[in-house]
Structure 1
Amino acid sequence: MPEQKDHGPFSIALHPIHDASHHHVADRLVYGRHTDDEADDIMAATARALTSAVYELGDSDLLGNRTLFIDLPLEWLERPELLPTPAPRLALGIAEAHTVDAELLERLDDIRERGYRVIVPTRLLKQDLEAMLDRSDIIVLSSPRDLDDKTLERLPARNVKLLVENLDSREELVRYQAMGCDYYHGHYLAKPSFIASAPRGRHGNRAAQIRLIRALYEDNNDFNRLHELVVQVPHLHVAILRRANSSYFHRGGKEVDLHRAVQILGLIELRRLILTLTLASLQPSSRIVLRMALTRAFMCRNLAAPFPALDSEDAFTTGLFSMMDALLEEDRHTLLEHLPLGQPIIDALKYRAGPLGAVLILCENHEQQVKEASDDLPPDQLHSCYMNALESTKALMNNL
């Protein structure tokens, strides 16, 4: 199976945005690449930026309750299923738009109906003042002379805010404050933070991704089928767990497994998350290692099945995640520190402790026996569990 293109380092910058009282209330997302590849697709670049800022930093609570300001390309705005969530914490910019026409106005209406705030540059506002004022939540100023006094006087009644760009002196700050501006960003107040992802190979299971996306849009969606497909794309598995256990979706209590995570997120959020991550090409997996991991997961589930005190799904998750570091090309300790897994599963993975740890050890020992055996192993119950796991893995992967 051909591998996906290897992506180089990718970085995003978060520019702090302050209110008139100098409180850090928002961040503006700016993204770029550390390569000379001018042909890089804008949709893929946007997807990777959103993955980092929304689905990683946001879910880790690094952004806290601050609003994220994002300029999105028009191609992205044309696909509402890709708009990131949660909408109340996001303000979407349309800086790439050049002309105010009926199509743009319709897009803005749809975005605002979904709960997003719209950021509009003054050059677009001036093209059709009345139409754009009705569709603007934040207006970007690059100069104190961008808007006349009459227009400025109309803004408070419409709850339209003013954002000052590239503030670089105290004199400018005082002048804009006198105008009643609401948001400020620039090096005078704070420097941006740069966050870079490490380069890594992308060995994406493209067939699984295509089948998964197709399943997301079938008329009669089967969440069990979605679960089967997701476990074959490890990075999606991790991302969905993180998303479902994030502060926005999960209100405390027991960590949720993949089955429950799919139900919590729902079809719309799953579509948004999976499409974004697929465009971002963040699903590294080796088909050979994946087969081994699924076999171990199914065997752990088979071994746990006769014992009522053991959760078979927890056993499956333990087996699968015991090889997740190899699948994702991540350090195991770092990965486990950031995964929303239950403590019994963490203890089993880290220390081979508890009933789940015992099941995992039994499975790993049998794998070693299979690897070293020169003759057929005796058809005992342990080997039957292993052979059944092989069949389950084969059936699951053949569905792709």
Structure 2
Amino acid sequence: MGTSKEIEGAEKLSVLMARQPIYTKSQDVAAFELLFRDPDGNFIEGLKDKDATLGVLLGTYSSISQGGQVQNLPCFLKVTDSFLLDNDMPELPRHAFVIEILGHSKFTPAFIERIKSLANDGYRLALADYDPRDPRFGAVLNIVHVLKLDIQKLGLKNVQTLAQKLKPFQLELLADKVETQEEFRICLEMGFEKYMGYFLSKPEPVRGKKLSGNKVLLIQLLTELQRPSATAESVEEIALNDPALTYRILRVVNSAAFNLRKEITSLSHAIALLGMEQIRRWVMLFLANNDEDKPDDLTRNMLQRGRMCELLAEMAGREEPINHFIVGLLSQLDVMLDIDMKELMDQVPLRQDIKDALISREGSYGEILQEVEHYERGEFEHLRKLLDRQFYEVAYRHSMSWATQVMQAMQESA
């Protein structure tokens, strides 16, 4: 496992960046929208002449593991008028970026000619903030390829009629600000092709739902790992009740994410090499793993969030960074299992301070978790700045890479 020393030695960028997934109808990730702020609060001006920044965007920020394979997906890049019209605009790889035009752009003749030229050169263009009452947008609907419709701002009742009116333009319609699974289902029926929003992060609790047998075994393991008198043998004895699960845990532990020099062949061997705390981490990981009918992106985000919580805690000098990892990892377990978080906490053997953080964001664990949640959403203005700002982006970037590696190992071992 990497530590905060890796973060401190990593290349620092002059911007804060996060990414928000853009989903298909089947809730697979099709692209990412980049949330981007430079120190002056601008979106994209800091990208000019920054080859290192472009390299990071083309690498970590576009990378994802799906079906056991790492691939690079396109990134939607919000751009300002001045960035587009500037002769010094960097050459952006056409396959890697979708240029996103903001609704408050001034659609001057020069601007319209510029985006026509970009479209003719093979760039895909998206338009955000569309307002059907504003006649300015008529000039660009025949040029852009993707149209984002803010369903909260426009109102779901109006969106269906609007979608019908837009059909002649043959645009790819992207439903933005989809906040619940019900809204997703409604937009699906309307024929939207892409979706953005936090609908995957909202649980749909099923009253009285209990944990599955597989999860119960993981909780038994977790309980044993927390006992002061636990031994490698006592933990392994429980794990052997599900050899397939034990095999999968060992496959992940042996993956490239951990840089081990020799293969680990048993859980007791893993505990001897890595210690109880590390094995407790991976039992938690499998407790959070998706054996329900949930998209892979939820597991990916849980992994990424857990790792970033741990790194921020370590760099901020907080006690027990591994417990910050657990809090971050399990903070969406209610969504994964469709069990209300309070009910869920009654079913899992966790310390009360960890439960308090998960239910009401209390204490050090809750503070770090909130910090990471703000960063993920691009709410950079709400950060408490527990560290120098540059460390947030590097920790986020490292967490994305780590989650990609672990997802790949988990998918390969499934």
TM-score > 0.5, shorter chain as reference? no
Q: Normalized against structure 1, the TM-score is what?
A: 0.39
Structure number with higher relative contact order (C-alpha < 8 Å, ≥ 6 residues apart):
2
Structure possessing the higher radius of gyration over alpha carbons = 1
Q: Normalized against structure 2, the TM-score is what?
A: 0.38
